[in-house]
Structure 1
Amino acid sequence: MCRRLLLCAQVGCATDDDFVPFACSLDFAIKTLEELPYCLVALYELRFVTLLLFAVDKHLATRMDLMNKEFLAFTKDLSLNTESVFKQDPKLAAAIDKLCTSERKFIAAGSVSLPEPALKPSYVLLIEGNDARKSLIKKVEDILSDINKCADSGDTPKLVIRNQKLWSNCIYDLDRVTLKSFSEAKKTTLCYSSSEDKRRFNIIVFVLTKVHELLSKNLTVTRRELFYQNVMRLRNQANLDVAVRDVCCLLETPPWSLGIVATAKGLIAGPLTIHHRDGSVVDCTAAGGILIPQDIIGITEFRSTAKFILVVEKDAIFQKLLDEGALLRLGPVIIITGKGYPDVCTRQLLCRLCSELRLRTLALVDADPHGYEIFLTYKYGSLAQSHLSSSLACSSLVMLGARHSDVMTLAPVEARLPLTELDKRKLTNLLKRPYLDTPVGARIKEELKVMLSSGVKAEIEALAPTAAALCDAYLPAKIIQSDYLGH
């Protein structure tokens, strides 16, 4: 009877005449489900009822499809007690509670206390007001003035920048990649007279002039918008990205403090509300998740009842988990994806969530070289963004799966793929990463060696071919097992 009332409430019958065929269809659907010994009729499995009703009564198909897509909104709108709707496996619930409490004890003990970041985040600049902006404007003016003086005197203008292509130019403080200081790092000198350096030099000057304008007018611009302001000179987005990175190194300031923001592509879902400085509030419980905000530094507060964070490599897996009700069945959990290699906004948001919510963060990636590199990027940071690691790297991140051992035990032989030559080269390069020569990195390095020697890789779908298998079997088993890589 309870199921019947809840379904009626969600579908919404316009008239009594509408309700009669609906009630008959519902009775038939429930009766059919109850006759199937392998199908447990629980409220969180309403998708089966949806499919049956679609076959019985096309008149209600559109409304029932809406119910299937908006499951989270359905439970929220009816003010349901989710504990009465879905009973979580006690072992899984205990493992999730352990995740939450162990992370808080770990932090309370001071094991992962982070120093003050070397670069001030943008919200500090906003609080300090015009003085901070004036300081940055003066730095830009000094650099441009030096260039003009050299040109006027007949000397060749030069720019000296820290080389961000060398791993030897980084230190590994607190298990993250950090660019050495200007006095310690090896440097690259760009000479305007050099035909090889002239284009890069000109683009840096272009970015500096735009930064001066943005800071003076207190404006922001996306990298893509900046690119279209001078397509002929920039030629491609990569040239602009390199120039922005160079300017940030010259000014020792993150790009968002200069008014240059990245375009977000990642998604986030779960029991989380994001509060912005303009007073707006973003609710992340929306069906299908929400796009990660671009203005991460404009976020003033996070509020959440989640017990851990799950970082998912691929959008397809992210959507499957949401469709399967993972926010309830594995939850309370925040699920986030960068849709492959993560953008700056996704990494920046994850870094803030980890540090401010103090939640254990688990990664779910493919058991292949690209999946492991994505995990390492989230955890340690990247070489190209080493000057921003304090704002981007999540050093407490651990890998939940997919491990190479999972591939050999769970993936069917036909689902295992041979490593390509490109895969082998990538693995070889990953093994050379200096941060893997640490106690924490040693286990990751061993895992990469085993993958290389076996010559086999696999995607997550090979281990759990259906969304139900992923949500009900693989992930709960891994969480209960608690054998994480990277801690």
Structure 2
Amino acid sequence: MAGKVSNWDAAKLLQRIKDFTRSIIEDLARGRSPTISINRFRNYCMNPEANCFCSSDEPKGQEILTITRETHTYRIDILLRVLLIIRQLLQENRHGSKRDIYYMHPSVFTAQSVVDRAINDICILFQCSRHNLNVVSVGNGMVMGWLRFKEAERKFDCINNPNTAFPIPVLVEEVKDIVSIAEYILVVEKETVFQRLANDTFCKTNRCIVITGRGYPDVSTRRFLRLLMEKLHLPVYCLVDCDPYGFEILATYRFGSKSV
């Protein structure tokens, strides 16, 4: 594969996808078994804005996929099917979730985990992030408080209803016109705590923004929090359980996740 995409360019990635699929077709046409080499890393990209899927760690070995092995044949088939869908997303400048991709061919993919693995492999092969592939997470997070912003053409006016929960936008890169008079951001682990704060009109007497990922935070929630930190320059506090799971969630907000 060519080097890492330092500046995001959909046209370049589309060309690399075309070259990759052409090389497989040429091998098959010449009677050769195509091989696909996939690096494996101890950690994965912890920065959702980064251009590569892997971390800066050196690869911890390689997997060589070949059609001479039956299990590899199925995996290559899935990889190419998912790659076709991703190519369509890039060509049409659309976004889709991993769940959307799974439901395009549920009888072929058989399980969501099969699609997830193929997307991970594609990110490693092309040294890019899921965000670069126009594949987004289905957002689980919520936000309330002294905040106003836009996502595409949709307006979120939390300031007029500071104790009303709004969904975290999935397309964080399209969030703009952020306005806030908050003094800090409070991240809470549990949805029940978030709802309790809303019921107690916590934001009415406290000029803050409250965010929850409903437990383990998804990528959209973490990216949205990072965006607010960069734009508003507010202190961030995190309320989690005092146990290993709570500290894991705290570390995920602060440093990112090994899996996404």
> TM-score normalized by structure 1?
0.48
Structure-2 separation of matches of 1:255 and 1:178:
11
AA matched with 1:347: R
How many percent of aligned residue pairs carry the same amino acid? 29
Deviation (angstroms), 1:119: 5.8
Are the equivalent residues in 1 in contact too, given 2:185–2:210 (CA < 8 A)? yes
Indicate if the aligned counterparts of 1:270 and 1:334 stay in contact, CA closer than 8 A.
Answer: yes
Out of 142, 160, 165, the position equivalent to 2:19 is 142
Tell me the residue number matched to 2:228. Answer: 353
Whether contact under 8 Å (2:99, 2:112) holds in the other structure is yes
Within 2, Cα distance between the matches of 1:250 and 1:242? 12
Contact 1:268 1:334 in 2 (8 A): yes
Deviates further, 203-212 or 246-255: 246-255
**Deviating runs (4+, > 6 A) in structure 1?**
169-172
| Structure-2 change in CA distance of 1:180 and 1:217 (3 Å) | same
Partners in 2 of 1:378 and 1:178 — Cα distance? Answer: 18
Indicate whether 1:366 and 2:241 are aligned. Answer: yes
Amino acid in structure 2 at the alignment position of 1:265 = N
2:184 corresponding residue in structure 1: 308
Return the letter of the residue paired with 1:283: D
Distance (Å, rounded) in 2 between the aligned partners of 1:157 and 1:261: 30
Partner of residue 185, structure 1: 59
Letter in 2 for 1:234: F
- The 1:201/1:334 distance shift into structure 2, 3 A limit, reads same
From 223, 248, 254, the equivalent of 2:98 is 223
Distance 1:171 1:312 in 2: 21
Deviation of 1:171 after TM superposition, in Å, equals: 9.7
Say if 1:190 and 1:197, in contact at 8 Å, map to a contact too: yes
The whole-number CA distance in structure 1 between the counterparts of 2:251 and 2:165 is 24
- After TM superposition, give the deviation of residue 237 of structure 1 in Å: 1.1
- Identify which of structures 1 and 2 has the higher relative contact order when contacts are C-alpha pairs closer than 8 Å and 6+ apart: 2
Separation in structure 1 between the aligned mates of residue 67 and residue 55 of structure 2, nearest angstrom: 25
Q: Offset at 1:201?
A: 2.1
**Paired position in structure 1 for 2:251:** 376
- The 5-angstrom pairing of residues 105-124 of structure 1 reads 120=7
After superposition, residues 425-440 of structure 1 pair within 5 angstroms as none
2:32 equivalent among 144, 149, 155: 155
Of residues 180, 202, 207, the one that matches 1:326 is 202
Deviations along 1:91-133, whole A, 9 cap, x unmatched?
Answer: xxxxxxxxxxxxxxxxxxxxxxxxxxx865xxxx6xxxxxx33
- Deviation track 1:307-357 (CA, whole Å, cap 9, x = no partner) reads 11111111000010111122133x211110010111111111111112221
Q: How many equivalent residue pairs? A: 248
Deviation at 1:252, TM superposition (A): 2.6
Instruction: State the alpha-carbon separation in 2 of the partners of residues 382 and 235 from structure 1.
Output: 26
Distance 1:302 1:162, change over 3 A: farther
Alignment match, 1:284: 158
Distance in 1 between residues matched to 2:13 and 2:54, nearest whole Å: 22
Instruction: Specify the code of the residue in structure 1 equivalent to 2:70.
Output: S
Residue 209 of structure 1, CA deviation: 0.8
Letter in 2 for 1:146: S
Moved more, 198-207 or 331-340: 198-207
How far did residue 250 of structure 1 move? 2.1
Rounded Cα–Cα distance in structure 2 between residues aligned with 1:240 and 1:178: 18
Matched to 2:257, the amino acid is: S
Alignment of 1:246-285 (within 5 A): 246-276=121-151, 278-285=152-159
Higher strand share: 2
3-state DSSP of counterpart to 2:150: strand
Q: Give the Cα–Cα distance (whole angstroms) in 2 for the partners of residues 216 and 225 of structure 1.
A: 17
- SS of the residue corresponding to residue 341 of structure 1 reads coil
Root-mean-square deviation over aligned CA pairs: 2.4
- 1:222–1:261 contact (8 Å) kept in structure 2: yes
Letter in 2 for 1:149: E
Whole-angstrom distance in 2 between the partners of 1:171 and 1:356 = 20
Alignment match, 2:50: none
C-alpha contact (below 8 Å) 2:141/2:167 kept by paired residues: yes
2:29 partner SS: helix
Q: How does 1:225-244 map to 2 (within 5 A)?
A: 225-244=100-119
Aligned residues of 1:119 and 1:253 also touching (Cα < 8 A): no
Amino acid at match of 1:290: F
Residues 227-273 of structure 1 deviation map (CA, whole Å, 9 limit, x = unaligned): 11011121111221221122122223332332222111110011111
Q: Can you give the 5+ residue segments of structure 1 that lack an aligned partner in the other structure?
A: 1-117, 126-131, 386-487
5+ residue gaps in structure 2?
48-52
